[in-house]
Amino acid sequence: MKYIFTLLATLLLFTGCGSTYTTPIPNGKIENKDIVITARDGSFTISGEFETPFVSEVHYHSFNKSGTKLIKGYNRALGFNAKHVMVKLPNNDKELYGVLALDNADNRGIGAGTKSYKIIIPQAYIDAAKDGKISVVYEYYHLKNDELTDLSEVKKYSWILWFSDEDVFN
């Protein structure tokens, strides 16, 4: 019986724990006010400080998506309400194609990323998104330990942006 309980608790942790275990993140800020992210379907545009225009239920964390798995993770994210976007950058004539996921915060989360999104797109990642290559930027927060599990090494992503200079996200 103890093994069944442990298995169920582990499954809950690694499946992302449904929306009952999450709290909305009401707003955010794109660090560079000249960056504009627009939904390809025209449903929203965000720049500077913004109210959360949609919520995805991706629930990626460092145990299920990291490294090269995260680069291809946009495909699954689209199935959980992530959005196709265009990213307008300062000093860049061509908009970049992208996929944006804005998740709710896990109730066990700690840190600024559980209260507000802070979207930062470093120049090195912009430079890497050339010739159809995908760059991924994100913000993560840690989880509090509970009575059953040491969660100190788990990083949950509050937002993820995949982008490229070519439309590779279909």
69-116 confidence digits (pLDDT tens): 788 899 999 999 999 999 999 988 899 999 999 999 999 899 999 999
Asked whether residue 125 is assigned to any structural domain, the reply reads yes
- Domain count within the chain: 1
pLDDT per residue as tens digits for the range 14-28: 444 444 689 999 999
The per-residue pLDDT for 15 is 46
Structure tokens at 37: 């992210």
Residue 61 pLDDT greater than 90, yes or no:
no
Residue 7 pLDDT greater than 70, yes or no:
no
The per-residue pLDDT for 66 is 56
Asked whether residue 5 is assigned to any structural domain, the reply reads no
Asked whether residue 76 is assigned to any structural domain, the reply reads yes
Asked whether residue 131 is assigned to any structural domain, the reply reads yes
Pick the residue with more confidence: 150 or 62? Answer: 150
Domain with 39 in it: 24-164
Asked whether residue 15 is assigned to any structural domain, the reply reads no
148 CB-near residues (< 8 Å, 6+ apart): 6, 9
